[in-house]
């Protein structure tokens, strides 16, 4: 029996094998942790890509739901004694529900007003987390968050956490790809192109926008819960405006309408942010300010020169160059 695999499926299989083999090849715990972090941010970027790239809705406060998932997991497992696996599930479900409820008034807005409203959500969330010291620990953060355990098996090592996070990330990637290739994905692309035209064809634009916003919030909630269980400590600064800017930059680099590009975008920004903190910020006497400058500049350049993202735009430029070269050779 002959297998007829497309190039995309072959690439996906190679990627999954590489992810599975990485912890056995890489012996450095710090590098394993960085790969785990890339997995978490890939999950976040996939959700943001669905909202911005497919539904065409500006969302500049996605870190809000990342933080919600983290704090819900921490509060349920560390304060209320809920099993860690149940707390993680609750983080995803509650983040999605909160995203849906918040989306009802937010999606009455359009354009810049919508972008500012989502940005305002992030500001309000961080302020609440800082001020409710008795519940969240305030600026000092929330400590002693238990690791995830399922049936007595505890994810308490770097390799175990890596496997857990990437298993969840691959599941999110598969789910998102299934959505964009379905009737829902076609409806979202129609809404992105023109809401008026989509509604004239019978597409309930508002309902689809709310659902995809809630889905992105759910992905972010799961990522936040996994982050809290991996680090065992969270603070409001881990989910502030800078993180939202980083997420938008990841989506832009990978391509706003590219699910697989989310991996490239997440890896690029995570590694670049680490380089800025380790090599540049301390030497220049700057910390978060330098990251905001670099990512803001990078985001502006990409949006002007390659609005479809580095991966999608780069492939388009390569195909155009190859076509021109072929035509010149034929002449």
Beta carbons of 255 and 311 less than 8 angstroms apart: yes
Residue 235's pLDDT is 93
Residue 274's pLDDT is 84
- Tens digit of pLDDT per residue, the chain (331 long)? 455 677 777 888 888 999 999 988 988 888 999 999 999 999 999 999 999 888 888 888 999 999 999 999 999 999 999 999 999 999 999 999 999 999 999 988 887 888 899 999 999 999 999 999 989 999 999 999 999 999 889 998 999 999 999 999 999 999 999 999 899 888 888 888 888 888 888 888 889 999 999 999 999 999 999 999 999 999 999 999 889 988 998 998 888 888 888 999 999 999 888 887 776 656 565 555 677 778 778 878 877 777 777 777 777 777 777 788 777 777 6
Q: From CA 16, how far away is CA 304, in angstroms rounded?
A: 33
Residue 115's pLDDT is 87
List b or e across 12-41, with b for residues whose CB sees 16 or more CB atoms inside 10 angstroms.
Answer: beeeeeebeebbeeeeeeeebebbbbbbbb
Q: From CA 146, how far away is CA 228, in angstroms rounded?
A: 9
Residue 314's pLDDT is 72
CB atoms within 10 A of CB 194: 13
161, two tokens: 């956490």
Q: From CA 126, how far away is CA 63, in angstroms rounded?
A: 10
Question: pTM for the complete prediction?
Answer: 0.89
Residue 305: phi and psi, rounded to 5, are: -90, -40
Side-chain-facing half-sphere of 198: CA atoms under 13 Å? 22
């Amino acid at each position: 029996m002959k297998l007829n695999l497309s190039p995309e499926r072959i690439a996906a299989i190679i990627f999954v094998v590489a992810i599975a083999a990485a912890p056995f090849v890489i012996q450095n715990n710090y590098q394993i942790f960085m790969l785990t972090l890339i997995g978490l941010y890939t999950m976040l970027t996939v959700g943001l890509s669905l909202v911005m790239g497919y539904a065409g809705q500006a969302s500049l406060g996605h870190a809000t739901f990342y933080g919600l998932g983290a704090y819900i997991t921490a509060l349920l497992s560390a304060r209320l004694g809920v099993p860690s696996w149940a707390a993680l599930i609750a983080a995803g479900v509650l983040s999605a529900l909160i995203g849906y409820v918040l989306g009802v008034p937010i999606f009455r807005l359009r354009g810049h007003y919508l972008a500012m409203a989502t940005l305002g959500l992030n500001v309000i969330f961080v302020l609440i987390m800082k001020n409710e010291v008795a519940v969240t620990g305030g600026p000092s953060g929330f400590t002693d968050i238990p690791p995830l355990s399922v049936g007595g098996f505890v994810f308490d090592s770097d390799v175990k956490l890596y496997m857990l996070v990437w298993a969840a990330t691959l599941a999110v990637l598969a789910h998102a790809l299934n959505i964009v290739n379905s009737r829902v994905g076609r409806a979202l692309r129609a809404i992105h192109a023109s809401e008026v035209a989509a509604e004239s064809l019978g597409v309930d634009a508002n309902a689809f926008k709310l659902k995809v916003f809630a889905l992105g919030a759910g992905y972010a909630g799961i990522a936040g819960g996994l982050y809290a269980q991996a680090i065992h400590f969270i603070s409001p600064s881990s989910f502030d405006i800078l993180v939202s800017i980083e997420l938008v930059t990841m989506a832009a680099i990978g391509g706003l309408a590219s699910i697989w590009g989310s991996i490239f975008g997440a890896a690029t920004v995570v590694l670049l942010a680490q380089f800025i903190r380790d090599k540049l910020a301390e030497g220049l006497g700057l910390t978060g300010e330098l990251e905001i400058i670099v990512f803001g500049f990078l985001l502006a350049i990409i949006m002007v020169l390659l609005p479809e993202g580095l991966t999608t735009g780069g492939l388009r430029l390569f195909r155009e160059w190859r076509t021109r070269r072929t035509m010149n050779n034929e002449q």
